Structure 1
């Protein structure tokens, strides 16, 4: 994560915002008093929130673990050729 001073951020606000949105890389902005804040795109923030929601849900984590197990054992759902043709024709 790139770290800059609040003065640098203020002086080049537009450039840093465009960089953050296009690169999907948050920027850490440090104030003189030592306090910092993070600038990130709204899309990236929403994605982080979704990830946190999944990680905090024991039910979802259990479903993921079970899915990994069936995948490793090759026990998962196998669509018919007709279903595959329908999916790939979209």
Structure 2
């Protein structure tokens, strides 16, 4: 994650926002008060929220683990024939 000062951010707002959106790279903006903030696209923020939801949902995590196990087993079975 790149970091810029709030003054740099203000002076280059359009370019830095476009870069964050187009490169899917969050940008940390530092303030003199120490209260930094992060700029990222709405799409990237939504993806982060979805990921957090899945990681915090134990039932979904169990389903994912079971699917991975099934996939590995079926791949091994297919490999036996080739």
Same fold per superposition (TM over 0.5): yes
> What count of residue pairs does the alignment treat as equivalent?
75
TM-score by length of 1: 0.81
Larger helix share, 1 or 2: 2
Query: Residue deviations 1:54-89, cap 9 Å, x none?
Result: 0010110000000011011118xxxxxxxxxxxxxx
Structure 1: gaps spanning 5 or more residues: 76-90
Which residue does 1:3 correspond to in 2?
A: 3
Show structure 2 runs of 5+ residues with no match: 76-82
Q: Return structure 1 stretches of 4+ with deviation > 6 angstroms.
A: none
Aligned to 1:87: none
How many Å separate the matches in 2 of 1:8 and 1:38?
14
Give the greater-gyration-radius structure (CA): 1
What residue in structure 1 maps to residue 68 of structure 2?
A: 68
